[in-house]
Amino acid sequence: MTDTAQSDSQPKETAKTQLMRDSGGSAAASESYAELVADLRDTFRKGHTRPLSWRRTQLEALVAMLSDNEREFAEAMREDLGRPPMEAFGADIGTTRTEIKHMLKHFESWAKPRKASMPITVQPARGRVIPEPLGVALVISPWNYPVQLLVHPMAAAIAAGNAVVAKPSELSPATSAVLARLVPNYVDDQAVVLVEGAVQETTALLEQEFDYIFFTGSTNVGRIVMQAAAKHLTPVTLELGGKSPTLVASDADIEVAARRIMWGKFLNAGQTCIAPDYVLVEAPVRDRLVGKMADTLREFYGDDPRLCDDYGRIVNGRHLDRLQNLLRSSGGTVAIGGQIDATDRYIAPTVVVDPDLSAPIMQEEIFGPLLPVLTVESIDEAVAFVNDRPKPLALYVFSGSSAIIEEVIERTSSGGACVNHCVMHILPSDLPFGGVGPSGMGAYGGRAGFDTFSHLKSVLYKPQKPDPRLLYPPYTAMKSKIAHKAM
């Protein structure tokens, strides 16, 4: 924890927090943010964030923040999303803390210059790739995992030696308020600033010139972020979404597949970017899979999930209405669930069998507790189905056959994939997480996150002597012969 860490619940008042709180109106906000970014860039240029000791102190402070305030974060996520404490810890607090601890173990080695071999054409010489921080990074996070998806990339940016502006989502206001109160009490507010707000504030932030933008959210908003970044030629990482397919072969362990798909889908009430969006199951085991899904949901949440403390809620009324419309227009058979209580922001875990392929539920990312199950005659048909659609953020395949598994992995493209489970591939630090095509660009997690927020600068070192004349005119026949032989 830094010297600025405080145990009380009041935020440390600084010039920056005063600036952010008092700015009003789009023009005023833009002016305030321009001043904020200029101050952070000045801090960065003075070398404030470069020392490894500073980076370590900030990362340790973030671990302390998550540990000291676990209950408060969990309560905020319960208020925002109806999240059970175990989900809040496992998917947000504990996962993020583990990732930062991994950074603490390795970031100093990641920051060291990396040797590069030199070909004979440049000898004598040595080469190094030097990771250097980019400058001032903007991290914009969504509402569905409001701690993990803000603090994790923020920590990666800090580990790489950058100053950071962090923008949590206004759609998870309780968690955003806790972060806004705690972050300046734990980390160095001269280099790391959290800004609350909605569309107006985000738009004003995007008008500023950052050295890197890291955005997690919808594909539509990702396009807006990329357009804004293009004005300044600012590089971006976009962690987006899409319709992540789940393929179930007839030789899969159907009971295990049902349990793992139900867990991955209905975690956080389906509001997960890598949740199974739809299932493609071979015809001979379709009915058995759906039956086991129903059994699993009773095992997880009882006969009435609405009464179960372990099942979450939809983030707000607008998203509930959207999901209700998806269900109503699906054209399929509701085999499980379907109950909705708008006053409680509740939608039951729902399985829809063989919906209309042209219906919105099969055209849009669902991002909620509705799971279409489609019947296919073969895994080949399932692979063709996936390949006819935009590349997803995740892909899941269940089978007991290594040949089928490898066929699916090799013939499809997705941001990441998981075999015989769901969602779990996001956990290992050494597996970079990111999208491909419309599901995103760039990756983070472990060293990939450090490299994302670094410029890997190539440097060639040459001695002053010897100074062979081969490179210089006049270009004789002998020099040409030597060059052709060497290259």
Q: What are the Cα distances from residue 22, in Å, to 30, 176, 192, 195?
A: 12, 18, 19, 12
Q: Which of 60, 87, 273, 422 is catalytic?
A: 273
Q: Could you tell me where the DSSP H helices lie in 137-172?
A: 148-159
Q: Which residues contact 54 (CB under 8 A, 6 or more apart)?
A: 48, 188
Element (H, E) at 384: helix 379-387
Q: Within 13 Å, how many C-alpha atoms sit on residue 480's CB side?
A: 4
User: Measured in whole angstroms, how far is the alpha carbon of residue 84 from the centre of its chain?
Assistant: 21
For the chain, give the number of residues: 487
How far is the first Cα of the chain from the last one, in angstroms, to the nearest whole number?
A: 55
Q: Is 273 noted as a catalytic residue in this protein?
A: yes
183 — alpha (psi -120 to 50), left (phi > 0) or beta? alpha
Q: Which of 60, 87, 201, 239 is catalytic?
A: 239
Answer whether 251's CB lies under 8 Å from 375's CB.
no
Q: What pairing do the DSSP bridges indicate for beta strands 340-341 and 416-419?
A: unpaired
The two tokens of residue 446 are 């472990």
Q: What are phi and psi of 418, to 5 degrees?
A: -140, 130
Element (H, E) at 460: strand 454-461
The two tokens of residue 428 are 């290992």
Query: What SS3 class is residue 117?
Result: coil
E strand residue ranges, 274-338: 278-282, 333-336
CB count in 10 Å sphere of residue 141: 28
Q: Is 239 noted as a catalytic residue in this protein?
A: yes
Smallest Cα–Cα separation from 407: which of 115, 399, 415? 399
Catalytic residues: 239, 273
